[in-house]
Amino acid sequence: MKIEKQSKKVLKELSLTLGNINLEETYYVVDKINVTRGDGEPKKDNSNFKIIIRKNAPKMDEKGSYIMEAGGWID
Amino acid sequence: MGITHENLTNYLDRIEKNRKINAFIELNPDAKRDAKKVDEKINSGTAGKLAGLLIAVKSNINVRGLRATCASKTLENYVSPYDATVIEKIRKEDGVIIGMTNMDEFACGSSGESSYFGPTQNPSAKGRIPGGSSSGSSAAVAANFCDISLGSDTGGSIRNPASHCGIIGLKPTYGLVSRYGLIDLAMSLDQIGSLSKDVSSAALMLEVIQGRDFKEGTTLDISQQDFVSNLSSDLREWKIGFAQEYKEFTDPKIVREIKKGLDRLSSNGAEIVDIEISNLSKGISTYYLTVFVEFFSGTRKFDGRRFGYNIENVCGREVLRRIMLGRYISQKEYSGKYYKKALQFRSLIKKELLTVLNNVDIIAGPTVPKLPHKIGDKVTDPLVMYGYDLLTVPANLAGIPSGVIKVGNVKDIPVGMQIQSKPLGEQNILNVMCNLEGEK
Amino acid sequence: MKTIIGFEIHEQLNTKSKLYCNSSTHYRNVEPNTNVCEVCTGMPGAKPYPMNQDAIDATVEIALMLNCDIIENPVYIQRKHYDYPDLPSGYQRTSLPIGKDGKLNDVGIWEVHIEEDPGKYDPLSGLVDYNRSGVPLVEIVTAPDIRNPEDGRKFLRELSKVLQYTGKVKPEGGTMRMDTNISLEGGARVEIKNINSVKGAYRALKFEITRQKNLRKRGVKVIQETRAFIESQMITRRMRIKETDADYRYIPDPDIPPLLINAKKIIEIKSAMPEAPHLKLKRFMDTFGISHDDAWAITNEKEMADDIEFEIHQLNKTKKVVDFNRHIIKKTIEYKKLTYKQSGLNGINVSDILKLIEDGHLTDFNAELTVRNIIDKTIDGIYTDRVTLNNIENLGLAKINEKDIVEKAVIEVLNENSNAVEDFKLGKSKALNFMIGQVMMKTKGRADPDIVRLILKKELR
């Protein structure tokens, strides 16, 4: 597949410019830790939200369940 | 007609007459109603900071009721069921959303050519790419289709089109503006920022959208800053750094315009200093390897089950390429070879830049290494496309703020100077831009 | 044949809101996709809210109860990527271990961490409901220290007790889910998923052992694989390879800063948490001098154990308290299919009953009826009335201490049951018990059976 071949080339080029280095990885740009919230009262129902997700849903039944592909997780 | 309604009418008229620019994907059908409401508030003296203004929003930011398509067939019918935090803030200050702008598909581009809805034109350089990925937001400002627009910047996506279109762009410090509701390209690099015709608009919008978001854990816990009232053009005793490496990688015609800008700053009291950014060339690789992994992860939810289509079935080539590469390098056995290495180089680049910024107030230089090509010039090698980002990715890798303002032209093509500062140094950037703006 | 068994157990924490958003965790008997928002349905652009602190604290408490060391380094939240309809973002957010190297009785606990529940997916109909998506789960991974299904069952029951003791997990209601690993005699390790009950775990293991033994008998090698437990048929079946693709492409979630559980927090939680059931059991045996069986029975529910301590303290009569709770109270609530917590019994009203027995106003028989009365009057487990002499008199349960009334009843019974008298005279001692029973019935249980026995014996001579 053409994209695949091209991608491999891109990857090779990109990884060549980086040599080897011995530094800590930067996973996060901000030095934050323990950002949490209290349990609090659950948010109120937003019926607008439900209307729109139904509009977006490829398939939804009257009760509100999404209808997705069935079974086949067992041989 | 109230002022908001009048502005809106004029903009819509101009948009209609210039459809070939293709800056918008969807106009807000409720804009007139919203404008009238704001005008009532203006009359009663209860209006917010953005009253009277029409704001265009990049199509990767959720605006309830409008489609956040990300310029992709994947989400062409996806209606946002909620407002992004920045949109909530804008509404609170009575800004009116005029529409959703065009962009590179899923922000995977630097030219504005990869949208499912067709390319965007550059209103300031006919026939040339407007830049990307916030192509529509930039063109909308340049063509006077709105007052201010919102864009997002992962590796230059606000600054690159700001430079090509000759307008002002501002990418804030990572964490200053909430990403809640932004359909990121890469979570650890993206920031929402503004595109505008003048510095005071940029300052105003930043004031509105800044701030800690209780819903978004990477936002910084600092007090609101007054950017507008602290605008100043006074640069006496400022140290402005310019790196020799910039000359090495940039088209000399661009460098010449940047130098003119630096001369103006210098004659206004600032000291131009030589600095070294030796790891500049490592930026592209570090950036893209990180992007591939984070983008792959972020796109797993586009499976077509709850909305839209399965992304890999309908997306464009570049998007597919990035997903494939992300899938490949995030495998357990390769993570050390690519991803971890990129994260290590990220530490290096961040460290270098922050060290330089300890010794100067501002780093000034070119925004893009080459002039925008003509729309229709088939650039098929992705690495050539990635090359546009060389000068802008370091700011995202380090999480520092960066702005762009026009300082000249090469033939008829605008050239923007990039102005970078240490984390939370937005006021410095705005003030330098203020100085340059005043000069015109 | 050495059998090696380990478990991975998931249990829901009973916070009010979900782990990464403020949607309600209430999902039973609710219309589908009602308690949801853009976060727990995986809408584009939605970001996880900062983590629910109560959920984190509950996980630390559970880890401490299981005798784990709490991790002192930053704990990252990872994205675990896999494709399944019930996973709205295409990845599950799961933390690295919060507690490590614990133990519950003889079974090692490798680690404890926190993750989010996916939604509910029915593979037969294809229907998906995200009400459950995002509810916080504690995951407990054991060492493969279990050697047979019976021990496995015992362990799971004990673990369930520990979790219930914290009060931080969803109360009794079958929300504990587990996966198990089993290998026989150094053979390949088989993983079994989709087990939703302790009984199911037991059956799954028994089935698997039989299946593997049969394969060996036929000379077939057991292969390493993942199987699903089918509850309706009590069997295990091989799962589709795609569902068991092992590379989850873990990355630290860039939207969630790591957790750091400091020493101060650990001390806070440790001092506030209840005594673990296995420790309470040991203490009861030591302090009160009761048998392991008795201690086990009365520490099964934390509320009952706490009330028993109170009662012992009030009355200073250990054996009476323990026996009454163990035999009378437990019997009655089990018959009524209630938990102690739901029954309406508490340390105060039970002490009242025991006191009334002490003071001679209540027979054991009628004490049991009094217990039933308390239970029957209550619906939600809140019953604050005391049990006074007045109460039991009104109920007609007070003990008859007037000798003449009892004597009268005895005489009546002797007159009405000449056959029994005959039998007794013939040496059948059962007849005496029969006649005592008759007197008890006549006096509506209000006579003291020991006194009745004396009077009968005297009369029969």
ipTM, 2 dp: 0.95
- More confident: C343 or B392: B392
Q: What percent of chain B has pLDDT over 70?
A: 100
Phi, psi values for residue B327, rounded to 5°: -60, -40
Residue A38 reports pLDDT greater than 60: yes
Instruction: Give partners of B (≥3 CB pairs < 8 A).
Output: A, C
Measured between CB atoms, which of A3, A35, A53 is closest to B320? A3
Q: If you ran DSSP here, which 8-state letter would residue C19 be given?
A: S
Contact C447, C367 (CB under 8 A): no
Which residues of chain A have a Cβ shorter than 8 Å from any chain C Cβ? 27-28, 30, 32-43, 45-46, 49-50, 53, 61, 63-75
**Mean pLDDT (whole number) for B39-53:** 96
Q: By C-alpha distance, which of C270, C192, C171, C274 is closest to C234?
A: C192
Q: Cβ neighbours of residue A52 under 8 Å, at least 6 residues apart?
A: B64, B65, B79, B80, B81
Q: Which of B179, B188, B306 sits opposite C47 (nearest CB)?
A: B179
- Test the A interface: residue of C27, C51, C93, C121 with most A CBs within 10 Å: C121
What pLDDT does C370 receive?
87
Residue C334, judged by CB atoms within 10 A of its CB (0-12, 13-18, 19+), counts as: exposed
Q: Which of C33, C52, C85 sits opposite A37 (nearest CB)?
A: C52
Of residues C441 and C128, which shows the higher confidence score? C128
Residues B169 and B134: their CA atoms lie apart, in Å, by 10
Element (H, E) at B153: strand B148-153
How many beta carbons lie within 10 A of that of residue B122, not counting itself? Answer: 28
Lowest mean pLDDT among A6-20, B321-335, C216-230: A6-20
Are residues A37 and B214, on separate chains, in Cβ contact within 8 Å?
A: yes
For the cut 90, the answer to whether the pLDDT of residue A9 exceeds it is no
Neighbouring-strand partners of residue B55: B97, B148
Mean pLDDT computed over C257-264: 94
Long-range contacts of B244-250 (CB under 8 A, 24+ apart): B244/B274, B244/B276, B245/B276, B245/B277, B245/B278, B245/B280, B245/B281, B246/B280, B246/B365, B246/B366, B246/B391, B249/B280, B249/B281, B249/B369, B249/B390, B249/B391, B250/B366, B250/B368, B250/B369, B250/B370, B250/B391
Mean pLDDT across C383-407? 80
Q: What is the pLDDT of residues B240-295, one digit of tens each?
A: 999 999 999 999 999 999 999 999 999 999 999 999 999 999 999 999 999 999 99
Q: Is B378 on the interface with A (CB under 8 A)?
A: no
- Give the pLDDT confidence score for residue C173 in this predicted structure: 65
Rounded to an integer, the average pLDDT of B346-373 is 96
Options 1.10.490.10, 1.10.1270.20, 3.90.1300.10, 3.40.630.10; CATH of B1-440: 3.90.1300.10
Task: Suggest the residue from C20, C89, C249 to mutate for an interface test with chain B (most B CBs closer than 10 A).
Answer: C249
Q: End-to-end CA distance of chain C, in Å? A: 66
Distance separating alpha carbons of residues B299 and B75, to the nearest angstrom:
12
Closest to B65 in 3D by CA, of B78, B46, B51, B53 = B78
* Domain positions in chain B: 1-440
pLDDT value at residue C379? 41
What is residue B121's predicted lDDT score, i.e. its pLDDT?
98
Least confident range of B186-190, C251-255, C341-345: C341-345
Q: Which residues of A touch C243 (CB under 8 A)?
A: 73
Q: What is the pLDDT of residues B117-126, one digit of tens each?
A: 999 999 999 9
The DSSP element (H or E) to which B38 belongs, if any, is: helix B31-43
Q: What is the mean pLDDT of residues C210-219?
A: 91
Euclidean distance between CA atoms C339 and C280, whole angstroms: 19
What letter does residue C5 receive in the DSSP assignment? E
3-state secondary structure of C338: coil
Residue C364 corresponds to which tokens in the numbers above? 């054991």
Residues of C in contact with B184 (CB under 8 A): 45
Write down the pLDDT at residue B364.
Answer: 98
**Minimum mean pLDDT range among B359-363, B423-427, C182-186:** C182-186
> Which residues in chain B (292-311) have CB-CB distances under 8 A to chain A?
304-308
What is the b/e burial string over C17-43, where b = at least 16 CB atoms within 10 angstroms of the residue's CB?
bbbbbbbbbebeeeebbbbbbbbbbbb
Q: Average pLDDT for residues C184-212, to the nearest whole number? A: 92
| Closest residue by Cα to residue A27 from C231, B394, C358, C252 | C252
Q: Band of the pLDDT at C373, cuts 50, 70, 90?
A: confident
**pLDDT single digits (tens) B148-167:** 999 999 999 999 999 999 99
End-to-end CA distance of chain A: 31
Decide: C315 and C355 in contact? Cβ < 8 Å. yes
Report, as an integer, the average pLDDT of C453-458. Answer: 87
For residue B210, the cross-strand partners are B177
Whether C225 and chain A come into contact, CB under 8 Å, resolves to no
C-alpha distances in angstroms, B185 versus B218, B308, C361?
A: 16, 18, 78
Averaged pLDDT score across all residues of chain C: 91
Query: What residues pair up with C92 in beta bridges, in sequence order?
Result: C80
Q: What is the pLDDT of residue C426?
A: 86
CB pair distance less than 8 Å for B180 and C50: no
Residues 6+ apart with CB under 8 A from C408: none
Task: Say yes or no: C22 contacts chain A, CB-CB below 8 A.
Answer: yes
Residues of B marked as catalytic: 58, 133, 157
The pLDDT score that the predictor gives to residue C244 is: 57
Contacts of C268 (CB under 8 A, 6+ apart): none
- Dihedral Cα B105, B106, B108, B109, nearest 10 deg: 40
Q: What is the average pLDDT across B211-218? A: 96
Q: What is the spatial distance between Cα B56 and Cα B7, in angstroms, rounded to a whole number?
A: 13
Which residue from C91, C128, C255 is facing B300, i.e. has the nearest CB? C91
Give the strands of the sheet with A66-67, arranged side by side: A66-67, C127-129, C120-122
Closest to B104 in 3D by CA, of B431, B355, B433, B382? B382
| pLDDT computed for residue C132 by the predictor | 96
pLDDT score, position B231: 96
Q: Using a CB-CB distance cutoff of 8 angstroms, which residues of chain A are in contact with residue C45?
A: none
The confidence band for B408, taking pLDDT boundaries of 50, 70 and 90, is very high
Residues of B in contact with A21 (CB under 8 A): 341, 344-345, 348
- For the cut 70, the answer to whether the pLDDT of residue C380 exceeds it is no
Q: Which residue has the tokens 């695949």?
A: A4
- The model's confidence at residue B403, banded by pLDDT at 50, 70 and 90, is very high
For residues B64-73, give the mean pLDDT.
Answer: 98
Chain mean pLDDT for chain B? 96
Q: A59 to chain C nearest CA, in Å?
A: 10
Q: Which residue has the higher pLDDT, B380 or B7?
A: B7
Residue of B nearest to C42 (CA): B301
Tracing tokens 């290495």 back to the chain, one arrives at: B341
Q: Is the pLDDT of residue B363 over 70?
A: yes
Q: Choose among B332, A75, A71: nearest CA to C223.
A: A75
For B87, the token pair is 């949109």
| Separation CA B362–CA B421 (nearest Å) | 5
Do B218 and C257 contact (CB within 8 A), yes or no? Answer: yes
Pair C10, C178: CB distance under 8 Å: yes
Res A39 pLDDT > 50? yes
Provide, rounded to the nearest whole percent, the portion of chain B with pLDDT above 90: 94
Residues 336..365 of B with a Cβ closer than 8 Å to A: which?
Answer: 337-338, 340-348, 350
Q: Considering only alpha carbons, which residue of chain B is nearest residue A18?
A: B282
**How far away is chain A from the Cα of B6, in angstroms, using its nearest Cα?**
30
Which of C17, C126, C243 minimises the CB distance to A69? C126
Is A31 an 8 Å CB contact of chain B? no
Distance from CA of C182 to the nearest CA of A (A): 19
* Stretch C408-430: mean pLDDT: 87
H or E, element range at C277: helix C277-288
What average pLDDT does chain A have? Answer: 85
